[in-house]
C-alpha cells in the first residue's frame, strides 16, 4: 500500500512530542513537509506559509494542523479547498460554528476531516465504554488537575480568547466522559476562576445532569504541582469504575483490570488513515459544546495573577 504524504502545519511542542513519532511509526503515512515560520524538522522540507506548501507540493495529500485553535480555521479551509485531507489537533477550532463550517466544506469537497480527541484513544477508554454500556450510572466525578508551567511553558495563546485556558486539558476529560457514558448529559452550573489580567480561566468547577438522572461533577485546575491528577470515577448500580492516568489505567471496584502505556496518537493516525481511505468525516463536537456551555453559564471569579 502506498503511503500517504502528509504535512504538519505548526511545529510546536505537541507536534514534536506526539505527531512526529506517531507518523513515523505508521507505515500508511510519510512525513513529507512541515509549515513553520520559526523552525521545521531536520531533513524535512519546510515552508514558511501554508499557501507556499499548497502551491509547491501537490503530491502532499493530507495535513495535520497543530497550530493554536484561534488560527486553525483559515488553514483548514485552504487545505480543504485544495483537496487535501485534514486532521485537526484538539480542540478542533476556536468556535463550534467554524468547525461545523469545515464539516460542510469537507463534505462538499469529498475529502476526509478528522476532529481529533486524543484522550479517547487512551488504552482503557474503549474497555470502560463497553463495561458501562449496560450499567445504570448514579454519579460521575472528574478530577483533572495539572501544572500549566510543565505542559505549556511560555505559551501565551492559551490565555488569550479562544485559547480555552484550563479547558485545554479539561476538554480531554470531557472527551472521555462523552465517549464512555451510556447516556448524554448537559451542564447546569459553572464557576470559572480567571487570573487577574487574563482572558481564559485557570480553574473550573462544573456540574452536569444526565438524561438518566445522574450527576457529573468536574474539577479542573492548572495550578497543580507534584503528581498530576487525571481521574474519572463512575459509580453505577453494579459497581464503580475508575479511570486513572488520563485513561491509561482502569479499575473496577478497586481492582486494577488494565494498565497500558500511552499510544493515543498512534490510534489517532490509524483512524485518520481509515478516514482517508473512505473520504469520510469524524467530527464529534460534544466536548467543545460542553466547554462553550461552561463559558455561557460561567460565574466568573477573579483570582491572583498568573505570571
Residue 90 annotated in active site: yes
Q: Which three cell numbers stand for residue 107?
A: 463534505
Q: Are 87 and 63 in contact (CB under 8 A)?
A: yes
- Helices then strands, counting H and E runs in the chain, come out as 10, 16
Nearest-5° angle of CA 297, CA 300, CA 143? Answer: 75
Please choose, from the candidates 306, 279, 286, 297, the residue with its C-alpha nearest in 3D space to the C-alpha of residue 113. Answer: 279
Taking the C-alpha atoms of residue 243 and residue 124, their distance in angstroms, rounded to an integer, is 7
In the set 13, 90, 107, 136, the catalytic residue is 90
Q: Strand ranges (DSSP E) for 222-260?
A: 229-236, 239-244, 249-252, 255-259
Q: Are 200 and 161 in contact (CB under 8 A)?
A: yes
> Which residues are identified as catalytic?
90
Amino acid at each position: 500500500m502506498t503511503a500517504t504524504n502528509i504535512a504538519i502545519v505548526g511545529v510546536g511542542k505537541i507536534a514534536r512530542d506526539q505527531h512526529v513519532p506517531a507518523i513515523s511509526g505508521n507505515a500508511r503515512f510519510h512525513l513529507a513537509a512541515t509549515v513553520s515560520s520559526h523552525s521545521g524538522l531536520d531533513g524535512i522540507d519546510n515552508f514558511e506559509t501554508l499557501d507556499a506548501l499548497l502551491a509547491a507540493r501537490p503530491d502532499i495529500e493530507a495535513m495535520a494542523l497543530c497550530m493554536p485553535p484561534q488560527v486553525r480555521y483559515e488553514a483548514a479551509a485552504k487545505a480543504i479547498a485544495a483537496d487535501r485531507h485534514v486532521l485537526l489537533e484538539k480542540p478542533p477550532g476556536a468556535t463550534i460554528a467554524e468547525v461545523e463550517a469545515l464539516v460542510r466544506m469537507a463534505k462538499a469537497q469529498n475529502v476526509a476531516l478528522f476532529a481529533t480527541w486524543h484522550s479517547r484513544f487512551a488504552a482503557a477508554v474503549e474497555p470502560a465504554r463497553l463495561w458501562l454500556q449496560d450499567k445504570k450510572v448514579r454519579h460521575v466525578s472528574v478530577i483533572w488537575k495539572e501544572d500549566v508551567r510543565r505542559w505549556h511553558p511560555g505559551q501565551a495563546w492559551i490565555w488569550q480568547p479562544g485559547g480555552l485556558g484550563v479547558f485545554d486539558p479539561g476538554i480531554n476529560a470531557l472527551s472521555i466522559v462523552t465517549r464512555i457514558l451510556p447516556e448524554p448529559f448537559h451542564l447546569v452550573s459553572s464557576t470559572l476562576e480567571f487570573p487577574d489580567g487574563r482572558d481564559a480561566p485557570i480553574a473550573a468547577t462544573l456540574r452536569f445532569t444526565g438524561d438518566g438522572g445522574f450527576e457529573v461533577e468536574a474539577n479542573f485546575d492548572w495550578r497543580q504541582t507534584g503528581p498530576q491528577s487525571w481521574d474519572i470515577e463512575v459509580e453505577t448500580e453494579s459497581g464503580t469504575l475508575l479511570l486513572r492516568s488520563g485513561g491509561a489505567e482502569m479499575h473496577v471496584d478497586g481492582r486494577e483490570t488494565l494498565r497500558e502505556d500511552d499510544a493515543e496518537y498512534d490510534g489517532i493516525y490509524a483512524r485518520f488513515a481509515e478516514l482517508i481511505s473512505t473520504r469520510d468525516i469524524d467530527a464529534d463536537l460534544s466536548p467543545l459544546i460542553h466547554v462553550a456551555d461552561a463559558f455561557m453559564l460561567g460565574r466568573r471569579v477573579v483570582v491572583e495573577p498568573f505570571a
